[in-house]
Structure 1
């Protein structure tokens, strides 16, 4: 979270501008079941269920403010603003200053372009927060063509302090640009103390273009985002400026867009600082006021995914059309949301279609490779990674993760020559990279080859990441493989401390204990390893060790036992 966001949250809290979640009332005995179900839905953050059961409970207690709030907030969270009008009006009659009711009613007025009604409601006492109220009122004046009144209200925002010093000025700049006063807008937005965001940079670049200063606009864009590859929206803007085209001002098209930007800015400031369910209300309002702005939709989807409302998150992402510059980002997010919900095949299909529709997009093929690797389709993963690798020749440092992940896929396929070549290429591009050193070193240990080099690699990895349990396990396992059992005890115990519930590491500690004659402790560790549900082949081997001892298992496998003994 940025310092500015933290100051905004502190200010909102200190000034009493935000409210926490509202507890449901005591149950109405006539419909205690619906009440209890609504209460559970509140805790589970399942908004459709909350809307359903709170509505049912409300039927038996029609003027209960907390139930009305629950119904309204659930529908806002789902983006169903058309469903809240009646409930909001009813709640305003009961509690005229209710924040949730104001969120619903003021949003509907702004969405419908009823700026006179919006002004009347705000001036009549309906309130979301001091900051939001003031800026909404200013934009309502813009919507009615009263720029003089709007500018006065924007200027009042400069006195709020505590992180809000520039909030009114920023919105004033957007309003001036909206009505064509580009010189005035640029003077405000380019102030040294004005915080920069993606939208403010785009706004300034577009304003400079409107002032026929494309070279300055291009330089400013490159200074802000770098001269490397950008996302499709920014690349399109950069190409237009490079070609000397006059680009239109698009950050806001109307007063309603300005209000939407206010809610999005507040949602961005709250993100990570307050409950996601509360932040979602602001993000949903921004989306409702400007549904074609992909950044708002992506924000909503991210919050819904964090709240584990995967179906709603997917529905939000589905709104972004294929022609939108943000479609690839939305597709990647949709794939992740589907995967999180357990719909693996649908998640993979989204990535396959994205790779087909946007074959030039490296991220599409890389994400597909990662997804296939998770599903143990290593051949498909290697093929997907190869698409990106082949188009970046000769490779640069940025490609080391691709060689690493393709190398791991080849290793799993048993194609060691290809795997080794990729892993060494990754190290050439990113020398001493701990993950690569550990993977390659551990692979050598398992194959019982290049043992001295393997141990050197793993020691370097441990030095770089001493708190990584897997890498520490590799060091201990290497010592075990070298039959330096006493030396293996300390690092293997350390690995278990770092990864106490990992079945493989606990199993390894059992083997090390057995090798040094601590058989009782070895059996204890093997039992622990079983309790952490290892893969079935590993579990079967552990059970056999518990039955006949490690040395007999090794002899049956054609391996050398840890000790010279007849009975293991």
Structure 2
């Protein structure tokens, strides 16, 4: 009862402060209920109704932004995030979606400017650093990008992360041989990032016309049951068909790996909703990636949103 009272009181305070309590209280409370049930589709309906009556309701705008992200409606989320940011918002989801909008159109100069504005654009320092490396790379400042990657590489425990993104930068530039040389260094390592690197190496060997080597490498490092996508990859290797892994060909596609690898790392440590934000951003940047789609579906299963898990494959 105390918890219900606290939630209701918070809602009433938010609404009364906006001056729209009499009109928007019903939809607002319904939206909050839908959010607690992780029913994001229903939540967007009520959130939109609230905002038509009360455009200045920041709490609802923030919730609508998250609902759009959860539903994979990133095209709808970007303008909402930009508007919310212009109004002074400075939070985790808003800032990541603002970055997504700049990455999608490859506005790397704008991306750099946003990242340099630390006072008004808060972000996890490590994420800021990695995205900055990619922003420099996207502007053609390869030396500046590599300096950042080298600095990350010099920190204990971050060597493989730095190597992985170095390989992705080569891939984005079409330098397949250089990327392969970096990925070769993962053969004797272990961990989540290693699995991702070895899978990408398999796909890269196939892209380079080395199908036999790709199959042999896959057999040596994976089994059919080692990951959800393994059976599909094995089938495609046998048929000499492209591996459905969304192997990056552009800078924006390659940057999806920032958010996907972060989602992989944090999935056991944080609420699934936070993991979903990173995964959906990765999916938006590389919609052809079967692995990312499978991961998004798994997160929805954790949230007991089975219908949304099925929709990921549509």
- Would the aligned equivalents of 1:115 and 1:143 in 2 still touch at CA under 8 Å? yes
Distance change (3 Å), C-alpha of 1:151 and 1:53: same
Q: Distance in 2 between matches of 1:197 and 1:101?
A: 30
User: How far apart, CA to CA, are the structure 2 residues paired with 1:275 and 1:88?
Assistant: 22
Is 1:84 the counterpart of 2:77? The answer is yes
Q: Which has the higher contact order (CA 8 A, sep 6+)?
A: 2
Residue 284 of structure 1, CA deviation: 1.0
- Separation of aligned partners in 2, 1:282 and 1:183: 29
Which residue is equivalent to 1:52?
45
Q: What's the CA shift for 1:114?
A: 2.3
SS in 1 for 2:282: helix
Match of 2:220 in 1: 223
User: What residue number does 2:32 align with?
Assistant: 39
Correspondence 1:285-324 to 2 at 5 A? 285-318=281-314
The secondary structure found in structure 2 opposite 1:308 is: coil
Shift of 1:292: 1.6
Question: Any idea what the Cα deviations from partners look like across 1:500-524, whole Å, max 9, x if unmatched?
Answer: xxxxxxxxxxxxxxxxxxxxxxxxx
Q: 1:141 aligns with which of 119, 136, 144?
A: 136
List gaps (5 residues or longer) in structure 2: 1-9, 16-20
Instruction: Give, in angstroms, the shift of residue 39 of structure 1.
Output: 1.7
Write the mapping of 1:141-540 to structure 2, written as runs, cut at 5 A. 141-159=136-154, 161=156, 163-191=157-185, 192-193=188-189, 195=191, 197-207=194-204, 217-226=214-223, 231-237=231-237, 240=240, 251-318=247-314
Q: 2:217 and 2:97 mapped to 1: Cα distance?
A: 39
Q: How far did residue 159 of structure 1 move?
A: 4.7
Counterpart Cα distance in 1 of 2:238 and 2:143: 34
Number of residue pairs the alignment of both structures matches: 290
Residue 303 of structure 1: how far off its partner (Å)? 1.8
1:62/1:206 CA distance change after superposition, 3 Å: closer
Change (3 A) 1:134 1:208: same
State the Cα distance separating 1:44 from its structure 2 match. 0.7
Matched residues in 2 for 1:194 and 1:148: separation? 29
Per-residue CA deviations over 1:78-113 (Å, capped at 9, x if unaligned) read 111222233212321343532221122111221222
Partners of 2:179 and 2:30 in 1: CA distance:
52
Higher-Rg member (1/2)? 1
**Shift in CA distance, 70/25, structure 1 to aligned 2, threshold 3 Å:** farther
